[in-house]
Amino acid sequence: MPRIVVVGSINMDLVTLAPRFPGPGETLLGSRFFTAHGGKGANQAVAAARLGAEVAMIGALGRDAFGDQLHAGLAHEGIDLAHVARIDDEGSGSASITVAAGENQIIVVPAANARVSLAQVEAARDAIARADAVLVQLEIPLDAVEATLRLARREGVPVILNPAPAQKLPAEWLSLASYLTPNQHELATVLGADEQTDFRELMRRAPCPVVLTRGGEGAWYRDDAHPEPAHQAGFKVDAIDTTGAGDTFNGALAVFLHEGLPAAVRKACAAAALSVTKLGAQGGMPSAREVATLLPH
């Protein structure tokens, strides 16, 4: 059973369905409201746990009702929460999402996620040293991300940097990642390159191995063994809701990395394809058995 450590965000998604977006000062009647557990870190941890990995999470929650619910949800997935801090004077992270006419508007308040600290990462050194792979994204402070990259490297553990939400990052930092897992837009942003540049060219420019996701088209990967970008086709499915496809992909990539990059990318594409056939980010994340049914023997 692979051991995975995820260092990242935990959010409550507050989703409102409305006929259109309200203007400034306007009140509208919506048709539906629901909450859903999210945050890139939590989503990737759940994806890995569903696939049978032993997962430990490093993150932070407020000491509020959302924090209790999110904590219970992650515990229910069997995720080790010993390194998830509860912050007394801060709320839990949230994403307020309005969906209207097939478009969405989102406001993220990091709250407790902004308090994930370098000290917390260092306190989890033993868990990181024992892990088969470490996953980190950019919804927590950058010093905690950097500490994760450096610590994993020092301990000889492969570390996957999912650069989302994207921002330009120093090349020295990127070279600490064992794998960078952007979509095309994120890779251009991280490298500070023109969005119009061919994605294969961007992959060659990155100072570390890259696994680039391209929605229904699947994924491309480049590492020392595959210096020219190689393609893994997407699996044909009836897409219902692509929310969380990238998070499922990252969780699965970490879980199957020990099988070698081509096999891991193939299984990550299969897991992510299954995830888009169901509603919600965490709602559609498949089990290892479901992934196996999609792959020919």
Scanning 9-17, 30-38, 44-52, 246-254 for contacts with ligand ATP by CB under 6 A, the matching segment is: 246-254
Judge whether 64 counts as a catalytic residue: no
Scanning 1-9, 17-25, 44-52, 232-240 for contacts with ligand ATP by CB under 6 A, the matching segment is: 232-240
Size of the site for ligand ATP (CB under 6 A): 22
Nearer to ligand ATP, 72 or 295 (CB): 295
How far CA 102 is from CA of 18, 241, 247, in Å, comes to 10, 11, 21
> Whole-number minimum distance, CB 90 to ligand ATP, in Å?
26
Residues in 176-205 at the binding interface with ligand ATP, rule: CB under 6 A: 183
Q: Which of 218, 251, 280, 286 binds ligand ATP (CB under 6 A)?
A: 218
How far CA 41 is from CA of 19, 47, 132, 235, in Å, comes to 31, 10, 17, 25
Scanning 3-11, 252-260, 265-273, 285-293 for contacts with ligand ATP by CB under 6 A, the matching segment is: 265-273
Catalytic annotation, pick one of 68, 132, 238, 247: 247
Nearer to ligand ATP, 121 or 252 (CB): 252
Nearer to ligand ATP, 81 or 221 (CB): 221
Residue 245 binds to ligand ATP (criterion: CB under 6 A): yes
Scanning 49-57, 87-95, 135-143, 229-237 for contacts with ligand ATP by CB under 6 A, the matching segment is: 229-237
Nearer to ligand ATP, 98 or 232 (CB): 232
Nearer to ligand ATP, 190 or 272 (CB): 272
Q: Which residues bind ligand ATP (CB under 6 A)?
A: 183, 213-216, 218-219, 234-235, 237, 239, 242-247, 249, 269, 272-273, 276
Give the residue numbers annotated as catalytic, written as ranges.
247
